[in-house]
């Protein structure tokens, strides 16, 4: 049984408690454990190998939103911290019998760590991880610094490469800029060309694109397709009720992001051989009764942990878009096993599924598919994270559109089978 204190008064700290934002003070993990709840182990680790970036993208949640903790972080994860991180991951994998863990090398811009860093990192994992645990590496980069010598190292260690590209140059260069305002499109495309050259193409994990309402959706999708990515991640820009995303007034009924995404969905869905577009595929799996592999939609418990360059364990780093210090757990790989983070109320909150959602979400007809939206997008100053997503009308419309398309196809198939 899951106990969420705002509904089960017995686990609150009586008689008076400081008013805090949900889930702070509202979840009693000890009581939950006594009642049989068990956390889901971490399986995906975001390693912040470098805390600075060579770009200054206008919407970046690390440098341009509520949290400024990057200023106090070491620029590079030291070898000592890296070794402690790998030992903790190995310990966690062994303790929970995990056959596979995913390690995402992230920043800032991870390539700033230098190519030798990645060889050393891979060797450390090889030395420390139990032989029966597979480590799947990937790196998320802006690709500006990507060279063949990096790719040779990635090839040697099987590190897949994801690149951030926001569409055509006119759109990308407005947002993904250097500190002096210069666009980065040409440099990024040069990097994409390198990783899609025959020797490295199999390392290419795909493109990550943050949706921009001022960009034409089909032109954006066509630009992304032109690089033949195996997968495309379409991300909603980060925002919440107290700091809404661009073009979205909190609480308004309009659906600008759904309209944008639906235009892409319809093109993607009608194509004979489309790449994976994870958001759409996850929604389809969920409609068909499956589970999601992303926190963006669905009720699957989160199993992701972020390790900062100083070894701090953090919740999902996009929480930096909400308020100063939001992702912190107060734990560090140098002193604490990862299991301690599994008991942190804010991490528990992201494993509660339906029990973490606002009443309006629980009553929603698409709740099992939408899942209340991405956790940071639910934030409202004063009440915390127990709200519907600031994107609620967009999510409802997108899910219902995909449901309608699927239902139509399934009915047509039924009719054909009956004929």
Looking at 361, 374, 376, 379, which residue binds ligand SF4 (CB under 6 A)?
361
Q: Give yes or no for residue 279 binding ligand SF4 (CB under 6 A).
A: no
Measured CA to CA, the distance from residue 272 to residue 29 in angstroms comes to 48
Looking at 370, 376, 384, 386, which residue binds ligand SF4 (CB under 6 A)?
370
CB closer to ligand SF4 out of 167 and 298: 298
Token couple for 339: 């299991």
SS3 at position 284: helix
Q: Give yes or no for residue 395 binding ligand SF4 (CB under 6 A).
A: yes
In the complex, minimum distance from the CB of residue 37 to ligand SF4, in angstroms, rounded to a whole number: 22
Q: Give yes or no for residue 283 binding ligand SF4 (CB under 6 A).
A: no
Q: Give yes or no for residue 392 binding ligand SF4 (CB under 6 A).
A: yes
Measured CA to CA, the distance from residue 283 to residue 294 in angstroms comes to 10
In the complex, minimum distance from the CB of residue 286 to ligand SF4, in angstroms, rounded to a whole number: 11
Q: Give yes or no for residue 389 binding ligand SF4 (CB under 6 A).
A: yes
Looking at 360, 407, 412, 413, which residue binds ligand SF4 (CB under 6 A)?
360
How many Cβ atoms are within 10 Å of 113's Cβ, its own excluded? 23
Best CA proximity match to 213, nearest among 157, 276, 156, 257 = 257
Q: Give yes or no for residue 101 binding ligand SF4 (CB under 6 A).
A: no
CB closer to ligand SF4 out of 332 and 389: 389
Best CA proximity match to 89, nearest among 289, 305, 299, 280 = 305
Looking at residues 39 to 68 of the shown chain, list those that interact with ligand SF4 (rule: CB under 6 A).
Answer: none
Looking at 364, 376, 380, 384, which residue binds ligand SF4 (CB under 6 A)?
364
Q: Which residues pair with 235 in a beta bridge?
A: 210
Alpha carbon 299 to chain centroid, angstroms: 14
Looking at 82, 287, 396, 402, which residue binds ligand SF4 (CB under 6 A)?
396
Please, are residues 240 and 380 in contact by the beta-carbon 8 Å criterion?
yes
Distances from the Cα of 50 to the Cαs of 131, 155, 266, 415, in angstroms?
28, 21, 38, 56
Looking at 206, 245, 373, 384, which residue binds ligand SF4 (CB under 6 A)?
373
Measured CA to CA, the distance from residue 29 to residue 31 in angstroms comes to 5
Residues that bind ligand SF4 (rule: CB under 6 A) add up to a total of 13
Token couple for 235: 């991300």
Of 152-160, 248-256, 335-343, 359-367: span binding ligand SF4 (CB under 6 A): 359-367
Measured CA to CA, the distance from residue 360 to residue 336 in angstroms comes to 37
In the complex, minimum distance from the CB of residue 39 to ligand SF4, in angstroms, rounded to a whole number: 23
Please, are residues 283 and 297 in contact by the beta-carbon 8 Å criterion?
yes
Q: Is the peptide bond before 340 cis (omega within 30 degrees of 0)?
A: no
In the complex, minimum distance from the CB of residue 250 to ligand SF4, in angstroms, rounded to a whole number: 13
Distances from the Cα of 113 to the Cαs of 49, 64, 85, 109, 184, in angstroms?
7, 22, 16, 8, 20
Q: Give yes or no for residue 208 binding ligand SF4 (CB under 6 A).
A: no
In the complex, minimum distance from the CB of residue 322 to ligand SF4, in angstroms, rounded to a whole number: 16
Q: H-type helices in 200-271, by residue range?
A: 217-225, 256-269
In the complex, minimum distance from the CB of residue 211 to ligand SF4, in angstroms, rounded to a whole number: 17
CB closer to ligand SF4 out of 305 and 367: 367
Which residues make up the interface to ligand SF4 (CB under 6 A)?
360-361, 364, 366-367, 370, 372-373, 388-389, 392, 395-396
């Amino acid at each position: 049984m899951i106990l969420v204190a705002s509904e089960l008064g017995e686990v609150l700290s009586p008689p008076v408690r400081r008013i805090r934002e949900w889930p702070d003070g509202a979840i009693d993990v000890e009581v939950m454990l006594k009642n049989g709840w068990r956390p889901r182990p971490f399986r995906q680790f975001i390693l912040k190998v470098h805390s600075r970036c060579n770009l200054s993208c206008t919407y970046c949640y690390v440098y341009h939103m509520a949290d400024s903790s990057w200023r106090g972080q070491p620029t590079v994860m030291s070898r000592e911290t890296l070794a402690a991180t790998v030992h903790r991951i190995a310990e966690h994998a062994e303790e929970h019998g995990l056959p596979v863990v995913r390690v995402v090398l992230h920043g800032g811009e991870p390539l700033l760590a230098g190519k030798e860093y990645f060889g050393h990192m891979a060797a450390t994992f090889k030395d420390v991880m139990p032989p029966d645990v597979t480590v799947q590496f990937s790196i998320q980069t802006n690709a500006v610094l990507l060279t063949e010598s990096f790719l040779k190292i990635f090839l040697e260690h099987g590190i897949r490469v994801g690149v951030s590209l926001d569409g055509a140059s006119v759109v990308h260069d407005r947002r993904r800029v250097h500190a002096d305002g210069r666009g980065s499109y040409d440099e990024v495309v040069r990097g994409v060309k390198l990783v899609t050259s025959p020797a490295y193409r199999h390392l290419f994990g795909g493109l990550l694109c943050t949706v921009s309402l001022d960009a034409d959706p089909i032109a954006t999708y066509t630009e992304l397709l032109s690089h033949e990515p195996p997968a495309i991640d379409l991300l909603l820009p980060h925002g919440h009720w107290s700091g809404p995303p661009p073009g979205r007034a909190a609480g308004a009924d309009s659906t600008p992001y759904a309209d944008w995404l639906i235009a892409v969905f319809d093109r993607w869905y009608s194509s004979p051989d489309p790449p994976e577009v994870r958001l759409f595929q996850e929604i389809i799996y969920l409609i068909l009764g499956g589970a999601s592999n992303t926190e963006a939609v669905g009720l699957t418990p989160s199993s992701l942990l972020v390790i900062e360059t100083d070894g701090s364990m953090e919740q999902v780093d996009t929480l930096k878009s909400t308020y100063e210090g939001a992702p912190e757990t107060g734990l560090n790989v140098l002193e604490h096993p990862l299991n301690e983070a599994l008991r942190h109320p804010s991490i528990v909150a992201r494993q509660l599924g339906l029990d973490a959602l606002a009443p309006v979400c629980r009553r929603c007809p698409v709740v099992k598919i939408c899942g209340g939206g991405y956790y940071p997008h639910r934030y409202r100053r004063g009440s915390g994270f127990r709200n519907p997503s600031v994107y609620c009308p967009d999510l409802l419309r997108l899910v219902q559109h995909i449901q309608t398309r699927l239902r139509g196809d399934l009915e047509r198939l039924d009719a054909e089978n009956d004929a």
